Amino acid sequence: MDALLLNLGKLLVGFFCMLGPIVFLMVHLHARDRREASLAFTVLRELNSPDLRGLFSINVASRSIGSDSVAIDLWSCSREQVWDVVEKLSAKLPSHVQVEVNGVSGGRLRSAWTLTVTRRFNAPALCP
């Protein structure tokens, strides 16, 4: 009976050693996908206004090491609309997310621009 339990224990340890890395990878990928979906939902909720419909596209990239990034392409938008988008998103997204806004203003191909917003935690002031 002891030999049977010992062999059963060895079998269970073998299964855990074989399936453990696969389960860890699946859990890690699932968490990354949920984080990407959450970021995309937050961005789409903020950009859901009648004046921006059809004028933007988004690309959400979630990395396992490093910061997440959201790239928004705005086409034929005014500067006021761009700044409104940047203000809304920088207030709603977590601080580790980098927001990049790309666009062409005024319908001219030579006036392409990129704006990157990265928020970090503010360091406390050491002045009395």
CATH number at 61 reads: 3.30.300
Tell me the per-residue pLDDT of 61-108, one tens digit each, with 9 for 90 and over.
Answer: 888 777 788 888 887 777 778 788 888 887 888 877 888 887 766 555
Is position 81 within any domain?
A: yes
58 inside domain: yes
Q: Per the domain annotation, does 45 fall within a domain? A: yes
Other Cβ atoms closer than 10 A to 107: 8
What's the pLDDT score for residue 30? 92
Element (H, E) at 25: helix 2-46
Residue 128 falls inside a structural domain: no
Is 123 inside any structural domain? Answer: no
Kindly state whether residue 8 falls inside one of the protein's structural domains: yes
pLDDT > 80? residue 27 = yes
pLDDT for residue 75: 77
Total domains present in the chain: 1
Q: How confident is the model at residue 26 (pLDDT cuts 50, 70, 90)?
A: very high
Q: Residues with Cβ < 8 Å from 18, sequence gap 6 or more? A: none
| 16 assigned to some structural domain | yes
The letter for the amino acid at 35 is R
Q: Domain limits at 74?
A: 2-118
What pTM does this model have? 0.70
Residue 48, SS3 per DSSP: coil
Residue 126 belongs to some domain of the structure: no
Structure confidence by residue, pLDDT tens digits, 30-71: 998 999 999 999 989 988 888 888 888 889 988 877 778 888
